[in-house]
Amino acid sequence: MIKTVTDNEEETRTLGERLGKFLKAGDVILLSGELGAGKTRFAQGIAKGLGCTSNVTSPTFVLINEYPGDITFFHADLYRLEKADLDEIGLWDSTEMGVLVVEWPERAGDSFPENALQLSLSFGSRTNERLIEFFIDSEREQAILASGDFK
Amino acid sequence: MLVLAIESSCDETAAAVIENGRKIHSSVVASQIELHAQYGGIVPEVASREHLRAIIPVIKQALEQASCSIDDLEAIAATRGPGLAGALLVGYNTGKAIALSKSLPFLGVNHLEGHVRANWLMEEPEPLFPALALVVSGGHTDLVFMKSENEYERLGGTLDDAAGEAFDKVGRLLGLPFPGGPAIAKEALSGKASSLKLPRAWLPGTADFSFSGLKTAALHSVRKETWSPTEIAWEFQESVVDVLSGKVANIANDLSAREVLIAGGVASNQRLREELRSRVSVPVRIPPPSLCTDNAAMIGAAASPRLSRGERTPLNVDIFSTNDWSVV
């Protein structure tokens, strides 16, 4: 596991952007963390790293958003879902065509691909501080993390 | 022109019969809110299945209440997007099928334009241009400038959470029932100003909004246990209302708008209605609550002028799910 601390929203976004630059179509990123932990901020950074210029907003209500970029960015949020059936919201239609970021992945249990990159965001001790943890348990995660300095 | 309009972009299955884009002959809404409230959120599988189950009875009821038969209709309109794909497809394809079988003109409607056009369904004279429109709901917080009848220029919108989404999430933090918007408004009724001050993201010089910082601040205030849920609900609502009404008033003034049009589910919020009417210097038009939340009458209101101008959606054109004002 790799732990990173950011001091404000902008740093959280920048960290996401750095990760985004190393991603390729087919990658799935799972973002866990409570309300306000910075998941959408981090996802906005990933989008920028993928070359998306659109304004990325929270997908809570619409469940999934799609943004054009150098690599297409799919942004899903399972917050409103209970016992989510991922086939139903068309989550897997997206994965092959671009990078998929999923907020509140817990709602869908363990039905994600083995190679999904798992991250957890939480509140630090100071108001704007956030703790970001990368769980490394797949080869793809090791490869991504080896290609960038996220410590 | 008598139009049958269909809406199924999210949690509501709705049908309406509208004459000339302004007169409601019927408007039927089958809501899934109660159903989803049992689960505390949406179950997509259930949502699609419910739309399928409801769509034909809802259309039949709309025709019955309008005292007309399918043969009296002159066109069919259905929401094309944005929304949840599985949900949109049910209403959109049903609309296409009726149009095809009865050889009627068909038009796919942008749900966002529909919300704004709900303002044409009231008895007052038609809105004056230029107008500033605010669409504020669970999924949207968009400010749109209408230079004329058919121009929608998006000026800005939320950079993170939609206003209605913030209401829902903070409602959940406070342990209030789903959906959070009406629940917070009700809780705040018995509240008043306390020592709690929540932030307001003004983002000066832009037509943008941000509600995620407010949401996080509300979370911290819940954790502190200094304030009651009523006090937090009150201050939270005041913060959202303050920013929305303040920015709308300023921007309407800057653009010399002759009228302000409000739309979307959050427009049912009583405090927002009061505050907008008191701060904006030109007339503020807000549809009654039944036309603010998702409904099919607004889809008919948006479709009629377009159909009259000869616009049609070919039957091979698919739904869209992205938040885009330029798709018509």
Nearest Cβ partner for A90 among B39, B85, B157: B85
Q: What is the pLDDT of residue A88?
A: 60
Q: Which of B192, B196, B175 has its CA nearest to residue B184?
A: B175
Does some domain include residue A11? yes
Please tell me whether residues B133 and B270 are part of one structural domain: yes
Q: CATH no. for residue A72?
A: 3.40.50.300
AA letter at A100? L
SS3 B198: coil
Q: Containing domain of residue B135, as a range? A: 128-286
Q: Do B42 and A80 touch (CB under 8 A)?
A: yes
Residue B7: band (very low, low, confident or very high) from pLDDT cuts 50, 70, 90: very high
B176 in the same domain as B261: yes
With CB atoms and an 8 Å threshold, state whether A58 touches B83. Answer: no
**Contact flag A89-B84 (C-beta cutoff 8 Å):** yes
Write out pLDDT tens, residues A82-96: 665 566 666 766 677
Nearest to B215 among A36, A64, A81 (CB): A36
Q: Does residue B110 carry a pLDDT above 80? A: yes
The string of pLDDT tens digits covering residues B261-271 is 999 999 999 99
Beta-carbon count within 10 A of B318 CB: 12
Structure confidence at residue B217 (pLDDT): 96
Q: How many CB atoms lie within 10 A of CB B304?
A: 26
Residues B321 and B264 in one domain: no
| Longest CA span, chain B | 65
Per-residue model confidence (pLDDT) at position B133: 98
| Domain identity same for B146 and B38 | no
Binned at pLDDT 50, 70 and 90, residue A1 comes out as confident
Give the mean pLDDT of chain B: 93
Same domain, B70 and B173: no
Residues B145 and B85 both lie in one domain:
no
Q: Which helix (H) or strand (E) holds B261?
A: strand B259-263
Interval B281-298: pLDDT, tens: 999 999 999 999 999 999
Q: What's B263's domain CATH number? A: 3.30.420.40
Roughly how many angstroms between the first and final C-alpha of chain A, as a whole number?
A: 10
B76 and B176 in a single domain? The answer is no
Taking only the tens place, the pLDDT of each residue in B204-241 is: 999 999 999 999 999 999 999 999 999 999 999 999 99
Does residue B123 lie in a domain region? no
Each residue of B47-89: pLDDT tens digit? 778 899 999 999 999 999 999 999 999 999 999 998 888 889 9
Same domain flag for B158 and B281: yes
Question: How many CB atoms neighbour CB B34 within 10 A?
Answer: 8
| pLDDT band for position B41 (cuts 50, 70, 90) | low
Confirm whether B122 is domain-assigned: no
The answer to whether position B90 is within a domain reads: yes
- Name the residue range of residue A41's domain: 7-91+104-129+137-147
User: In this structure, which amino acid lies at residue B328?
Assistant: V
pLDDT of residue A86: 63
Residue A85's pLDDT is 59
Number of domains in chain B: 2
Q: What is the pLDDT of residues B86-107, one digit of tens each?
A: 889 999 999 999 999 999 999 9
Give how many domains chain A has, as a whole number: 1
Burial class of residue B28 (count of CB atoms within 10 Å of its CB; 0-12, 13-18, 19+): buried
Q: Is A88–B42 a contact, with Cβ atoms under 8 angstroms apart?
A: no
**B13 and B58 housed in the same domain:** yes
Q: Which residues of A touch B48 (CB under 8 A)?
A: 88
Closest to B44 (Cβ–Cβ): which among A61, A89, A127? A89
- In angstroms, the separation between the Cα of residue B308 and the nearest Cα of chain A is 31
Q: Lowest-pLDDT range, A52-56, B60-64, B184-188, B264-268?
A: A52-56
Instruction: Let me know whether B272 and B313 are in one domain.
Output: no
Q: Min CA distance, A61 vs chain B (Å)?
A: 5
Q: What pLDDT sits at residue A87?
A: 62
Report if residue B167 sits inside a domain. yes
Whether residues B163 and B280 share a domain: the answer is: yes
Mean pLDDT for A17-24 is 93
Q: Give percent above pLDDT 70 in chain B.
A: 95
Residue A15 lies in a domain: yes
**Closest-CA distance of chain A to residue B148, Å:** 26
pLDDT of residue B208: 97
Asked whether the beta carbons of A52 and A140 are under 8 A apart, the reply is no
In a domain, A98, yes or no: no
CA distance A99 to A116: 11
